[in-house]
Every structure is written in structure tokens, then in C-alpha cells.
């Protein structure tokens, strides 16, 4: 061979080696398919190679220093494969060869390895649990660069395996498997879905990171867990599945939203975390769990600080499903089921009701309403709760088309949800469409589009305020008969009660029917769309720009018709009108919310590895966001008919209004990740934010964080502990901001105006605190005419700034016993300073508004500390596979400072809720009941030492004189509970056997209380004519009959006033719920292949199977300072469903 050829050969060899090192894949089929015919007689080997090269595409490489190509050989073969030819050629020679597609490398080796190499080829097929072939699985011989990927049918073949070779099979989203070849030549593998794994990639701020390299605290919930639940939204689906995350379903009404709190409650204002859906701010309550690939929850300063002033409540990053290059898929999921109320509390029946009414009257010194005979004749009466409950339905359909070519990927997802609630006339319908598309325009440019559209309609039964429909039904007089028919409602006659002593008005069924017409069911439209372009500028350096818009529009139209409802005697029967609206008072109102926000994000990312050991990633970015919200309403009265319900047809009391707000945020941020061999991990991030909400002098805020991780398991001294697969400790510290300044009345779930959830308020609170404003609606009626005026109505606070959370986090991640145990533990401590509170302002400054004189100022401090852990056990061996995960989150919340050095104050005049230094946020309280006066002698004795709150009689509560002043009054109200759970638990079990799979999820909030203010009404102490739950049968009605529940009385003064909270109103609200149980079966692929399907899984799911709690009433989950006893309960839903892949 001439020198030139040798040089060329070396060059080709280099190219080849580079190819090898870069691509393990591209398994050769050429060498397997090409047949050679040779007839060589005593020729040089070099000539043989030439001959082969001429009749095929094979090419030989060898180094003549190691290999004698002048050796003469004879060979005769027909239709032989290249390896057979070569085996003959080098039969007894100390020569080995390797075939890389069409290239054949000849080298001299020792006999042994040649022999081994020749034999060690393994092939097989890789499928998922359902028998579905998995293309693109990486197959690598452990510890080498020898590898391949599976083809479109899931087949692979790997050759030249070393002795005692172990093959690793890995695939994104699947658990990696390692299999010892042990002499086998065919190894078929079933890959399991990954739940916890070190190779998992998690989403972090503006990017992704390998979970094993994380130094911050991030919880992840993946699509597997999300999809196997019959829930309305992804917000509900993550409940109890991530540590440190409290999800509160506000109620069980169709379409009801959930509130999410991460690591306790760190502010008096908005506690909602920042939610980013594919990088654009959105609402996780609107997203169907079928649309989601993963939800990542960033909890500590290290992971959140890159979101600066928006991050103090934590960050939730939602990644929706994207298409993958390769095979196109059509997936269809549906479920259909019915739902029923669980834990329906009993109310008094008619007989019990009248007995208690009588007793109350007598206790007040009035004549009894009923004779004994009348009472005895009273039957069960009407159970109005039963009358308004129904069997609900829930249907959901999700259809996804996904796939892609090597240059374009797509996923189109359509989702439809139809829920009919368990309370009559309640329903929710939602249509979602999502398109994710991206394409490689050139080898350096990728562009893409994420588009999401949603439309929903909803009819809520009255579910807020005093008169939730359930509350109404629970209180409605049981002696009244259900409606007979026609337009006439019921409402009496009152069976002997004075007319003022029974509930007049429409009965609950009529009321609900009445409220379910003449409205447009509040259609809501959402559009979230973003476009991105990603440029690969050079090796390791990319620039990505993303432009997005989030649009929300809703329109709520309600017509109030004229009506007349008579009692059950009817109009003809001479009945009274129980409810009426005159024709002149017909009215129509339309309220419209029209909100949008824009966001632009530019990111520059540089990744490089130096000397194989120093891994560096640097990210710098810029983000601009602008929010523009408007609300307008119009109303008009006096319509000529109930039928024509358009604004232009009303003639009187026309009123229109508009409220508009806007704000903007500009940010610059950067992050540096460095690790040494993946063993020592370091991260530093910083964000600079400027918010329009602050005056110039406080506009810019800086939010740094740093974290460190140490993979101890990679240290040599850990080698002896071979049961530790992986072990990492990490620590982080940083500062987070909160620029949501409004003080939110948390128990009403009010949200502030940048939110896209519920009807956004029109409040400007928190947006313009540094401005003093002239209210232009300050007119005056000169000469009976509305003359415009302007008055300064708000104090400007130029010093207002963001709340600042200082947060430290310690974490431990371990994988033990070959992946059988995964343990994660976190400790955190978060101190929030400069909390925004209503600060008292001297009235002389001139902003008393008729009730208060306050402004928003930075005045409070709060502390949250906690411990979170997850224990996950896997059994992957054999056909019966299962895993069990338990997670627990402790949180301790404490107010450490209030405005003006105050030690604490009650939030309302009923003394139910208090903020107090040293206690958790919103502690519950009231008068403490220490017993019940059993007889007059006890009262007389007590009165010798104390002054009672008023006249008391036997059967009344004994309140504790908490302040020791010998006077029982409101000053004795004390804290008796707290609404924040101190422990949240979650237990998940998954099991599979052959085609069967089973999933169960249990979740609980422990150690919390709630105050049921409505009990004040129920206890016959205020609205004494209302019906009540049957706990009232346990009331005191004679010496020794009760120590806990007072006698029934009429009027509100006797037990200290109905409006005064006491121990009896504070109920335990801890609960444990079996959230989800699902049994599925995947039909074997050979069966369904015949009908053209790839995968079919059918399942049965039970949501909210059971709830364990001591709480009396329907719904325990939502707690607040004014909890109504009868929030719409979460229902038990039993569904059948299927997941079908075409």
C-alpha cells in the first residue's frame, strides 16, 4: 500500500473512530444482508480484501505494522455473509475484526478475546408493559462505548460484547434496566415506566436539569400519576403526590378550583404559587391532567430565585405533552362514571324538629307551639338535603395525535370534560385544545408554537355566602311538604309555628330550579399561545427567544325575571305569596372580564465540559411581562317581558362601569451550574426585577441564591457500602420576593387581579400603592344633577416594596439496594420579612373611608419551617411488580411580627380568627366552653365570684374566665385552633401483574381545625326556626344530659350571643381520604393487533372512595375563618375508562 493510501487510511480511521464514539447506534443491517461469492486461490490477503471491496461496499482498515497482509490464502465460498468469510479467512490467525456497518477494522489481538468477541452477539425485542414495541431505546454494554438503539419494531442487536457483559437498556421516561448476558443470545426486555430515577430530567427555571444533578428542592409529578385519576384539573391531580405541596379543593362543585400552597403560608396576601405552563404564566386549574407530561414544583430558594419577585410562594412548572420524532401515535382516553355524595350528615326530621322547637320556646318562657298529640303525629317530614341531591355524571374524552419526522414534531391534544354534580342543577363543561409544534428549520434553528384554547361553561348552585344550597336545604323547615307542581313553590303552612318562626320563601328545590335559568352560565374563554425560536450559535451555545400571550375573557349574564311563588296551598287555594318580584323590577346584568398578559423571554445558554470532569452551564436571560386587565359591567331594569333578555330592552336604572388595571415587570437573570465529575455540584443564580408596582426608589430588587450538592456515593470511601446506589446531600440558601401586594381575604378565596382564575377582581389593591389617586367618581348632586368631582381617596406609600423570603434548605437523596429504595428528605426554614399588611394610618392624614384608615405597608414577619420526606420502595422482580411511596410534610407556621409592634388582634367582631405573634396565621378562637350549668344552684354559686355575660339559666354554657378578671365577656376569647395543617401525608401504591395494574392513592391533612360559624345559626340561638343537624339531639335538656351542647333557646342573647364564637364552633378538620383507587387491564397486544390497535387498557376508577374525619358536615377539606358548614362536598365518583393507542 502506498504511503498516500496509508495516510488516507489513517484519516478514514480517525473519521470512523469519531463516528463510533459519537454514535453507538446505526446498527448495521448491511453486513447481515450482503452475501459474498469468492473463489481465491493462493492469493495475498490484501488481494482478497480488494476483491471483496470490488463486489461489495465493504471497506477494510488495518495497520500493516500489526498485520501481515502478504500472507497467502485460498478461499472458496458462495452466498456467505461477511463475518462467515472473515471467520474462515482468519481461522487460526491471531487476528480479530470488527464490523461497523460497511467498514471492517482488522487488528491483531490475542486468541482469547477474538474467540469471545466472535460469539458475544445478543439480540432481542424491547417492549413496554403493555407489549408495545419501544423504538429508540438505547442499548449499551455497561462500562463501554459499545452500543446501539432499537429499531422501529423495538428490535436490537448488539455484538462484540465482553465477557460477563452487562447490557443497559434505557429510554426516556422508563426505568433503566441492567441485564447480565450470562451466555444468552436472545434477551427480550420489558421496560417499566419510570417513577423515581436518577436519570430523570426535571424542569427547572428556564430549562431542565438531570435530577441527579439537582441541588435545589424540586418535587415532580409525572403524567403516569396524573392520568390515572378522575379529576377536573391537574391542580387536583397533584394533590398529595408531592411533598411540601398542600392542595385544597375549595369545594366539590363541578369545575371548582383548587388552591395550592407550597411549604405553608408565607404571606398575608396572595399565597398562590407562580404557575408556568410551557413557560407562560397560566392556571393549573384549567389544564386537564391528560394534557400534561410533568408537573415540577420548585420549593426552595435555589430553584425559585431565578423567578425573583414572583417566587416567594414557590413555582410550579407544567410541561405539556410534546411530539417525538419517530412513529405517529393516536391516543384516545376516555372515562365515564357516576358520582354520589359521601358522608351525608343527618338533619332533624319533622318530629325531632318540632320537639326541639317546643323545647326552645319553653326554655324562653313561651307557651309550647305544639301539643303532645301534634308532635306525636308528626312524621319524618321532608329531608330537604335528600331532595336536592342527585346522582352526578362525569364524562371525559381526550384525543391526542402526536409524532414527528426527524425535522418536525407535533402533538395535538383535544380534551372534553362534562360533569354533572351531585347537587341538583350543578354542572360544568370544558373544551380544551392544545397544539405543540416545533420544527428544525436548519441545523442551527428550531422554531415552535404552543397554542392552548379553552372554553368552559358552568352552572354553580349557590355555593358561597350564608346560603349555599346545601346550607339552605339543611336549614329549611322539615315540616313543609315538597312542591306539588306548577309554578307554585312551597313554604308553609307552618304546622302551628308562628309565621315568623318558620322559613318562608321558596323551598330549596324550587329555589335551585329558579336559579338555574335566565343566565348564560358564565362562559370563559382562555387562549394561551407562545412562539419560540432557538438558535444554535456554536457548540454548546444556544439562544432562545419566546413570545407569549395569555388571554382571558369571560362574560356573565344574569336576568332577574318577575315571579310569584305561593305556598303549598297555591294561588287558588288562597295561599300566601312566599316569594315575589314585581314586573317593574325585572333586571339584567352583564359582567365581563377581559384580561391579557404578554411575555417575552430571551435566553442564552452555554454548556461545556472541560477536561471531561468540569461541567459548566451558564444561563443568562431577560424577561418582560405586561398585564392588562379590564372589567366592565352593564345593568338595566324594567323589562316589559321575562322573555326578551337583552340590555337594550330595559328602560330604567341603566348603569355601566369599567375598571381597568395594568402592571409590568422587567427582569434580568442568570444562573451558573458547575460540577466536578458530577460529584461536587454547585449552583448560583441571581435575578434583578423591576416592577411597576413600586415607586422609582424601590423599583429594582435583587434575588440571589446559592446551593451546593455533594454526591457522597461517588467518593471512593463509599465503595464499601455497595448497597448504596446513590447518595447526595445538598444545601441551599437564597432570597425570594413577593410582589403580590394585596391583602387577600384568604377565606373567601378572593384573588388579586393578575390572576386568570376565578372572576378576577377589579380591585386595584396592590397595584398602585405608591400613587395617591384622585377618585373621579367623587361627584356631588348639585341641583339634583350628578356633577363630576374628584377626591384624593388613597394614601400614597412611596416606601412600599416587595415581601422578602429568606430560605434555607437541606436535602438528602438516596437510592439503595439496586434501586429498591428511594429516599428523599428535606428540611427548610423560611423567614418572610416586610410582609404587606394593612397598617393603621392616623385619620388626621385624611383617608378615613367610613370604616378604616389604613394603608398597605411592609410591617409583618412570618416563619415557616418544615421537614418533608418520601420513602419509595420498588419491587421490580418477577411478574408481580409493585411500588409503595409514602410522603410526609411537616410544616410549622408562625407569625413573628405584626404591625406597629402589636402582639395580636382579632380579625372580626365575632372573635373567630386572630393573628397573634407566636401563633400560626389565622388562629381560630372564641369563648372557651368549660361545661354547662346543670342547675340553678351551680349558677348561683358561680355568680358569687364572677359576673356572667348576661342572664344565664341551667343548660347554658359555662365559659372560661380566660383573663381572670371575674367578668365573662368577649375579652375572654382565646385561641383554640388553627387552620393550617401541620402534617400532610400521601400514600401511593402501584402494582402490576402481567396485564393488570392497580393504583391507590391516599392523602390526608392532619392537625388542623375549622370554624363553622354557621353553627351559630343552627344551634337555635339566632335563627332558631332553622332546621339543624342531628347533633343537636345531644343538647342539654335536663340536669346531667349534656356537658358539651347547650340547651336550645330562641333569641341570641343567652349563650353569649350567636355572633360570638365559642368552642363548639371550632371543629376538628383533620382528614384522611382515599383519593383514588384504580384497577386496569392491558389487553395483550397480539389480541388487539388484529383489530389494528397498538395498545388498549381498560380500567375502573373510584375517586374519593372514603373520607375519615371527625368533622360534622359535608365538606371538611376547605378551612377558613368563616367556614360554612355546607360547602359543596366532594363526591365519590366511580368511572370506567379506557386508554387506547392506535
Partner 1 sequence: MKAKYIITICLLMIVFISCDKDFLECPPLTEASSVTFFKNASEATMAVNGVYNSLYLYNYIFEWEDALTDNETWNEEGGTWTYGGLANYAETAAGNNAYTYRMWGKGYRTIQRANTAIEGISAMDASLIDDDTRNVLIAECRFLRAWQYHLLAWRFGGVPILLDPVGEQELTPARNTKEEVVQQIIDDYTFASQHLPDTWSGNDLGRAHKGAALGMLAEEYLWNKQWANAANAAKQVIDNSNYGLLDNYQDLFTPGINNTKEDLFGVQYWTANGAYGSYYRYRWFRAPASNTARAGYEFHLALQDLVNEFENSDGTPFDPTGIDVTTDDSQYENRDPRLWSTVFYNGADIYGQPYNRSWSRTGYAWRKYSCSKNDPLLVGSSIPMNWKVMRYAEVLLFYAEAKNETDGPTQDVYNAINQVRSRVGMPDLPTGLTKDEMRERIYHERRVEFASEGVHLEDLIRWRRLEVVENRHLSAGCTYHTDFEEFEYLWPIPQTEIDVNPNLEQNPGY
Q: Which residues bind partner 1 (CB under 8 A)?
A: 442, 444-445, 535-538, 543, 545, 600, 602, 622, 624, 626, 653, 655, 658-664, 666, 690-692, 699, 764, 767-768, 771-776, 778-796, 840-850, 853, 900
Query: Residue 1070 Cβ, how far from partner 1 at the closest point, in Å?
Result: 36
Torsion of CA 975, 978, 979, 980, to 10 degrees: 150
Query: Residue 11 Cβ, how far from partner 1 at the closest point, in Å?
Result: 27
Query: Residue 951 Cβ, how far from partner 1 at the closest point, in Å?
Result: 12
- Whether 434 and 291 have beta carbons less than 8 Å apart is answered as yes
Closest CA to 687 of 633, 631, 623: 623
Looking up cell 412548572 gives 317
Please, which residue, 622 or 892, has the CB nearer to partner 1? Answer: 622
To which H or E segment does residue 433 belong?
strand 427-442
Please, which residue, 134 or 588, has the CB nearer to partner 1? Answer: 588
- 900 to each of 13, 269, 684, 739, 897, how far by Cα in Å? 79, 18, 36, 22, 9
- Whether 1072 and 1008 have beta carbons less than 8 Å apart is answered as no
- Whether 496 and 374 have beta carbons less than 8 Å apart is answered as yes
Measured over the CA atoms of residue 1010, residue 1014, residue 1016 and residue 1020, the dihedral's sign is negative
Query: Residue 667 Cβ, how far from partner 1 at the closest point, in Å?
Result: 11
Query: Residue 577 Cβ, how far from partner 1 at the closest point, in Å?
Result: 12
Please, which residue, 71 or 622, has the CB nearer to partner 1? Answer: 622
Cα distance between residue 289 and residue 286, in whole Å: 9
Alpha-helical regions (H) of 205-244: 223-227, 234-237
- Whether 131 and 1082 have beta carbons less than 8 Å apart is answered as yes
Please, which residue, 627 or 1036, has the CB nearer to partner 1? Answer: 627
**Region at 543 (left for phi over 0; alpha for psi -120 to 50; beta for the rest):** beta
Query: Residue 661 Cβ, how far from partner 1 at the closest point, in Å?
Result: 6
Query: Residue 691 Cβ, how far from partner 1 at the closest point, in Å?
Result: 7
Residue 553, CA atoms < 13 Å, CB-side half-sphere: 7
Please, which residue, 500 or 716, has the CB nearer to partner 1? Answer: 500
Query: Residue 842 Cβ, how far from partner 1 at the closest point, in Å?
Result: 5
Angle at Cα 961 formed by Cα 955 and Cα 966, nearest 5°? 105
Query: Residue 787 Cβ, how far from partner 1 at the closest point, in Å?
Result: 6
Query: Residue 789 Cβ, how far from partner 1 at the closest point, in Å?
Result: 3
Please, which residue, 183 or 850, has the CB nearer to partner 1? Answer: 850
Please, which residue, 595 or 707, has the CB nearer to partner 1? Answer: 595
Please, which residue, 56 or 853, has the CB nearer to partner 1? Answer: 853
Query: Residue 626 Cβ, how far from partner 1 at the closest point, in Å?
Result: 7
Please, which residue, 94 or 900, has the CB nearer to partner 1? Answer: 900
Cα distance between residue 1083 and residue 266, in whole Å: 49
Please, which residue, 553 or 768, has the CB nearer to partner 1? Answer: 768
Measured over the CA atoms of residue 954, residue 960, residue 965 and residue 971, the dihedral's sign is negative
Query: Residue 357 Cβ, how far from partner 1 at the closest point, in Å?
Result: 21
Cα distance between residue 1138 and residue 572, in whole Å: 55
Please, which residue, 462 or 1057, has the CB nearer to partner 1? Answer: 1057
Please, which residue, 54 or 785, has the CB nearer to partner 1? Answer: 785
Please, which residue, 678 or 779, has the CB nearer to partner 1? Answer: 779
Query: Residue 771 Cβ, how far from partner 1 at the closest point, in Å?
Result: 5
What is the secondary structure of 914-952 as a DSSP string? Answer: EEETTS-TTEEEEBPEEEE--SHHHHHHHHHH-B-SS--
Q: How many residues does the chain have?
A: 1142
Hey, is 1057 helix, strand or coil? coil
Cα distance between residue 926 and residue 975, in whole Å: 7
Looking up cell 482478497 gives 48
What is the grid cell recorded at 145?
A: 462505548
Hey, is 743 helix, strand or coil? coil
Query: Residue 632 Cβ, how far from partner 1 at the closest point, in Å?
Result: 11
Supply φ then ψ for residue 85, to 5 degrees: -65, -45
Cα distance between residue 507 and residue 480, in whole Å: 9
Looking up cell 385519576 gives 229
Hey, is 583 helix, strand or coil? helix
Please, which residue, 600 or 907, has the CB nearer to partner 1? Answer: 600
Query: Residue 202 Cβ, how far from partner 1 at the closest point, in Å?
Result: 28
Q: How far is CA 795 from the centre of its chain?
A: 38
Query: Residue 415 Cβ, how far from partner 1 at the closest point, in Å?
Result: 34
Cis, peptide link before residue 493, omega less than 30° from 0: yes
Query: Residue 926 Cβ, how far from partner 1 at the closest point, in Å?
Result: 18
Q: What is the CA radius of gyration of the chain?
A: 36
Please, which residue, 94 or 791, has the CB nearer to partner 1? Answer: 791
What is the grid cell recorded at 362?
A: 319553653
Cα distance between residue 1058 and residue 1049, in whole Å: 11
Q: Under 8 Å CB-to-CB from 365, ≥6 apart: which residues?
A: none
Please, which residue, 182 or 538, has the CB nearer to partner 1? Answer: 538
Cα distance between residue 966 and residue 964, in whole Å: 5
Q: Under 8 Å CB-to-CB from 422, ≥6 apart: which residues?
A: 252, 339, 340, 341, 389, 390, 391, 392, 1129, 1131
Please, which residue, 690 or 743, has the CB nearer to partner 1? Answer: 690
Please, which residue, 39 or 654, has the CB nearer to partner 1? Answer: 654
Query: Residue 1018 Cβ, how far from partner 1 at the closest point, in Å?
Result: 23
What is the grid cell recorded at 989?
A: 401504591
- 553 to each of 81, 157, 468, 750, how far by Cα in Å? 68, 56, 26, 18
Amino acid at each position: 500500500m502506498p504511503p498516500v493510501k496509508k495516510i488516507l487510511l489513517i484519516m478514514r480511521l480517525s473519521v470512523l473512530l469519531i463516528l463510533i464514539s459519537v454514535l453507538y447506534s446505526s446498527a448495521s443491517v448491511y453486513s447481515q444482508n450482503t452475501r459474498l461469492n469468492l473463489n481465491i486461490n493462493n492469493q495475498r490477503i490484501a488481494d482478497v480484501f480488494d476483491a471483496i471491496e470490488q463486489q461489495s461496499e465493504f471497506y477494510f482498515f488495518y495497520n500493516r505494522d500489526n498485520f501481515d497482509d502478504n500472507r497467502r490464502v485460498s478461499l472458496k465460498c458462495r452466498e456467505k455473509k461477511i463475518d462467515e468469510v472473515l471467520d474462515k479467512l482468519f481461522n487460526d490467525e491471531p487476528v480479530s475484526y470488527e464490523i461497523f456497518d460497511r467498514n471492517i477494522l482488522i487488528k491483531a489481538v490475542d486468541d482469547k478475546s477474538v474467540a469471545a468477541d466472535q460469539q458475544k452477539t445478543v439480540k432481542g425485542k424491547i417492549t413496554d408493559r403493555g407489549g408495545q414495541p419501544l423504538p429508540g431505546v438505547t442499548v449499551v454494554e455497561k462500562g463501554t462505548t459499545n452500543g446501539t438503539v432499537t429499531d422501529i419494531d423495538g428490535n436490537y442487536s448488539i455484538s462484540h460484547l465482553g465477557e460477563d457483559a452487562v447490557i443497559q437498556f434505557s429510554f426516556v421516561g422508563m426505568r433503566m434496566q441492567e441485564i447480565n448476558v450470562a451466555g444468552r443470545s436472545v434477551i427480550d426486555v420489558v421496560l417499566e415506566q419510570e417513577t423515581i430515577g436518577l436519570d430523570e430530567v426535571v424542569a427547572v427555571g428556564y430549562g431542565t436539569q438531570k435530577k441527579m444533578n439537582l441541588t435545589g428542592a424540586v418535587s415532580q409529578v409525572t403524567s403516569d400519576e396524573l392520568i390515572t385519576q378522575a379529576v377536573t384539573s391537574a391542580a387536583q391531580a397533584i394533590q398529595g403526590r408531592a411533598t411540601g405541596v398542600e392542595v385544597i379543593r375549595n369545594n366539590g362543585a363541578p369545575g371548582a378550583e383548587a388552591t395550592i400552597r407550597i411549604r405553608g403560608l408565607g404571606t398575608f396576601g396572595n399565597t398562590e404559587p407562580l404557575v408556568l405552563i410551557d413557560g407562560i404564566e397560566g392556571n393549573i386549574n384549567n389544564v386537564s391532567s391528560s394534557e400534561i407530561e410533568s408537573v415540577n414544583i420548585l420549593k426552595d430558594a435555589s430553584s425559585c430565585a431565578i423567578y425573583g419577585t414572583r417566587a416567594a410562594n414557590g413555582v410550579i412548572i407544567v410541561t405539556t405533552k410534546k411530539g417525538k420524532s419517530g412513529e405517529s401515535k393516536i391516543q384516545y382516553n376516555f372515562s365515564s362514571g357516576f358520582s354520589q355524595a359521601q358522608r351525608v350528615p343527618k338533619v332533624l326530621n319533622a318530629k325531632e324538629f318540632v320537639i326541639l322547637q317546643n323545647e326552645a320556646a319553653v326554655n324562653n318562657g313561651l307557651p309550647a307551639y305544639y301539643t303532645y298529640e301534634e308532635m306525636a303525629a308528626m312524621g319524618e317530614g321532608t329531608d330537604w338535603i335528600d331532595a336536592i341531591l342527585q346522582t352526578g355524571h362525569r364524562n371525559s374524552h381526550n384525543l391526542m395525535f402526536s409524532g414527528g419526522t426527524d425535522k418536525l414534531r407535533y402533538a395535538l391534544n383535544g380534551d372534553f370534560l362534562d360533569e354533572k354534580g351531585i347537587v341538583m342543577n350543578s354542572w360544568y363543561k370544558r373544551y380544551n385544545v392544545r397544539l405543540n409544534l416545533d420544527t428544525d428549520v436548519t441545523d442551527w434553528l428550531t422554531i415552535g408554537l404552543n397554542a392552548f384554547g379553552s372554553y368552559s361553561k358552568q352552572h354553580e348552585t349557590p355555593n358561597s355566602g350564608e346560603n349555599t344550597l346545601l346550607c339552605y336545604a339543611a336549614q329549611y323547615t322539615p315540616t313543609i311538604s315538597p312542591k306539588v307542581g306548577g309554578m307554585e313553590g312551597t313554604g308553609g303552612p307552618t304546622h302551628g309555628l308562628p309565621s315568623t318562626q318558620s322559613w318562608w320563601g321558596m323551598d330549596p328545590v324550587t329555589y335551585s330550579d329558579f336559579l338555574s335559568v335566565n343566565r348564560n352560565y358564565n362562559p370563559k374563554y382562555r387562549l394561551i399561545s407562545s412562539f419560540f425560536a432557538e438558535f444554535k450559535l456554536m457548540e454548546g451555545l444556544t439562544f432562545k427567544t419566546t413570545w407569549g400571550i395569555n388571554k382571558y375573557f369571560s362574560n356573565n349574564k344574569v336576568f332577574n325575571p318577575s315571579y310569584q311563588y305561593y305556598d303549598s296551598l297555591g294561588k287558588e287555594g288562597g295561599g300566601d305569596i312566599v316569594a315575589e318580584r314585581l314586573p317593574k323590577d325585572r333586571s339584567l346584568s352583564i359582567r365581563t372580564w377581559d384580561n391579557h398578559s404578554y411575555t417575552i423571554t430571551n435566553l442564552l445558554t452555554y454548556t461545556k465540559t472541560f477536561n471531561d470532569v468540569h461541567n459548566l452551564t451558564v444561563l443568562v436571560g431577560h424577561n418582560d411581562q405586561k398585564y392588562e386587565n379590564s372589567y366592565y359591567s352593564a345593568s338595566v331594569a324594567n323589562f316589559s317581558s321575562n322573555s326578551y333578555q337583552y340590555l337594550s330592552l330595559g328602560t330604567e336604572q341603566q348603569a355601566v362601569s369599567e375598571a381597568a388595571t395594568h402592571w409590568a415587570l422587567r427582569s434580568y437573570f442568570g444562573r451558573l451550574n458547575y460540577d466536578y465529575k458530577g460529584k461536587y455540584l454547585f449552583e448560583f443564580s441571581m435575578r434583578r426585577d423591576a416592577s411597576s408596582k413600586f415607586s422609582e426608589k424601590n423599583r429594582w430588587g435583587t434575588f440571589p441564591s446559592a446551593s451546593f450538592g455533594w454526591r457522597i456515593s461517588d467518593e471512593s470511601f463509599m465503595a464499601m457500602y455497595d448497597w448504596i446506589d446513590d447518595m447526595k446531600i445538598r444545601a441551599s440558601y437564597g432570597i425570594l420576593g413577593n410582589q403580590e401586594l394585596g391583602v387577600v381575604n384568604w377565606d373567601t378565596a378572593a384573588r388579586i387581579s393578575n390572576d386568570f382564575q376565578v372572576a378576577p377582581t377589579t380591585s386595584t389593591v396592590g397595584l398602585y400603592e405608591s400613587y395617591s389617586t384622585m377618585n373621579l367618581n367623587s361627584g356631588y348632586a348639585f341641583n339634583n344633577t350628578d356633577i363630576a368631582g374628584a377626591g384624593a381617596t388613597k394614601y400614597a406609600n412611596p416606601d412600599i416594596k416587595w415581601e422578602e423570603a429568606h430560605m434555607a434548605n437541606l436535602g438528602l437523596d438516596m437510592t439503595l439496594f439496586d434501586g429498591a429504595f428511594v429516599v428523599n428528605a428535606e428540611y427548610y426554614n423560611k423567614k418572610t420579612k416586610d410582609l404587606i399588611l394593612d397598617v393603621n394610618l392616623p385619620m388626621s392624614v385624611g383617608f378615613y373611608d367610613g370604616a378604616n384608615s389604613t394603608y398597605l405597608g411592609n410591617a409583618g414577619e412570618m416563619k415557616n419551617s418544615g421537614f418533608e420526606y418520601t420513602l419509595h420502595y420498588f419491587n421490580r422482580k418477577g411478574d408481580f411488580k409493585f411500588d409503595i411511596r409514602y410522603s410526609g410534610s411537616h410544616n410549622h407556621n408562625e407569625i413573628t411580627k405584626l404591625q406597629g409592634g402589636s402582639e395580636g388582634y382579632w380579625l372580626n367582631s365575632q372573635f373567630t380568627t386572630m393573628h397573634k405573634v407566636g401563633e400560626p396565621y389565622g388562629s381560630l378562637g372564641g369563648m372557651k366552653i368549660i361545661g354547662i350549668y346543670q342547675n340553678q344552684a351551680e349558677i348561683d354559686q358561680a355568680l358569687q365570684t364572677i359576673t356572667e355575660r348576661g342572664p344565664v339559666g341551667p343548660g347554658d354554657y359555662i365559659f372560661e374566665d380566660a383573663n381572670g378578671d371575674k367578668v365573662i365577656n368577649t375579652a375572654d376569647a382565646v385561641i383554640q385552633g388553627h387552620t393550617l395543617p401541620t402534617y400532610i401525608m400521601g400514600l401511593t401504591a402501584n402494582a402490576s401483574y402481567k396485564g393488570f395494574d392497580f393504583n391507590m392513592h391516599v392523602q390526608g391533612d392532619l392537625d388542623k381545625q375549622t370554624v363553622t360559624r354557621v353553627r351559630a345559626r343552627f344551634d337555635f340561638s339566632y335563627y332558631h326556626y332553622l332546621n339543624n343537624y342531628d347533633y343537636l339531639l345531644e343538647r342539654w335538656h335536663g340536669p346531667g344530659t349534656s356537658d358539651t351542647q347547650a340547651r336550645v333557646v330562641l333569641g341570641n342573647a343567652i349563650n353569649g350571643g350567636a355572633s360570638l364564637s365559642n368552642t363548639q364552633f371550632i371543629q376538628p378538620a383533620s382528614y384522611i381520604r382515599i383519593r383514588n383507587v384504580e384497577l386496569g387491564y392491558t389487553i395483550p397486544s397480539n389480541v388487539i393487533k388484529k383489530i389494528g390497535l397498538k395498545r388498549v387498557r381498560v380500567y375502573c376508577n373510584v375517586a374519593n372512595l372514603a373520607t375519615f374525619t371527625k368533622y360534622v358536615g359535608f365538606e371538611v377539606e376547605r378551612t377558613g375563618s368563616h367556614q360554612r358548614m355546607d360547602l359543596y362536598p366532594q363526591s365519590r365518583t366511580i368511572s370506567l375508562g379506557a386508554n387506547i393507542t392506535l
